[in-house]
Amino acid sequence: MYIEKNQQIHLSRRPEGMPVADDFELVSMPVADISEGEVLVKNTWMSVDPYMRGRMIDRESYVPPFAVGAVLEGGAIGEVVESNNPAFAVGQKVAHMSGWREYFITTGEDLQALPDSPIPEQAFLGVLGMPGMTAFTGLLKIGELKEGDSVFVSAASGAVGAIVCQIAKLKGCHVVGSVGSDAKADYLKNELGVDAVINYKTTQDLTADLAAACPNGIDVYFENVGGAHLEAALNVMNDHGRIAVCGMIDQYNATTPVPGPANLAQIIIKKLKIQGFIVFEHWDEYPAFVQQMGQWIQEGKVSYRETVYEGIESSPEAFMGLFTGKNTGKMLVKLA
Contacts with a second copy by CB under 8 A lie at: 54, 61-62, 226, 230, 239, 245-248, 251, 257-278, 281
- Note the residue count of the chain: 336
Q: Rounded to an integer, what distance in angstroms lies between the CA atom of residue 237 and that of residue 220? A: 8
Closer residue to a second copy in complex, CB, 61/298 = 61
Q: Rounded to an integer, what distance in angstroms lies between the CA atom of residue 305 and that of residue 310? A: 16
Q: Rounded to an integer, what distance in angstroms lies between the CA atom of residue 22 and that of residue 185? A: 33
- Please give the angle made by the CA atoms of 36, 109 and 141, to the nearest 5 degrees: 170
Closer residue to a second copy in complex, CB, 128/272 = 272
Closest approach, Cβ 292 to a second copy, in A, equals 23
Closest approach, Cβ 235 to a second copy, in A, equals 11
Q: Rounded to an integer, what distance in angstroms lies between the CA atom of residue 298 and that of residue 241? A: 32
Give the 3-state secondary structure of residue 261.
coil
Closest approach, Cβ 221 to a second copy, in A, equals 13
Task: Find, among 183, 278, 275, the residue nearest to 223 by Cα.
Answer: 275
Task: Find, among 325, 164, 333, 187, the residue nearest to 243 by Cα.
Answer: 164
Closest approach, Cβ 271 to a second copy, in A, equals 5
Closer residue to a second copy in complex, CB, 82/223 = 223
Closer residue to a second copy in complex, CB, 177/226 = 226
Closer residue to a second copy in complex, CB, 189/273 = 273
Q: Rounded to an integer, what distance in angstroms lies between the CA atom of residue 169 and that of residue 148? A: 9
Give the 3-state secondary structure of residue 131.
helix
Closest approach, Cβ 14 to a second copy, in A, equals 17
Please tell me what DSSP assigns to residue 290: H
By DSSP bridging, strand 330-334 and strand 306-310 are parallel
Task: Find, among 325, 290, 293, the residue nearest to 166 by Cα.
Answer: 293
Closer residue to a second copy in complex, CB, 261/325 = 261
Tell me the backbone φ, ψ of residue 296, rounded to 5 degrees.
-60, -40
53 contacts 323 by C-beta, under 8 angstroms: yes
Closer residue to a second copy in complex, CB, 119/274 = 274
Closest approach, Cβ 314 to a second copy, in A, equals 28
Closest approach, Cβ 35 to a second copy, in A, equals 38
Closest approach, Cβ 249 to a second copy, in A, equals 10
Closer residue to a second copy in complex, CB, 261/307 = 261
Closer residue to a second copy in complex, CB, 134/166 = 134
Q: Rounded to an integer, what distance in angstroms lies between the CA atom of residue 189 and that of residue 89? A: 44
Instruction: Give the Å distances, CA to CA, from 284 to 76, 106, 207, 280, 306.
Output: 20, 24, 38, 9, 26
12 contacts 69 by C-beta, under 8 angstroms: yes
Closest approach, Cβ 210 to a second copy, in A, equals 17
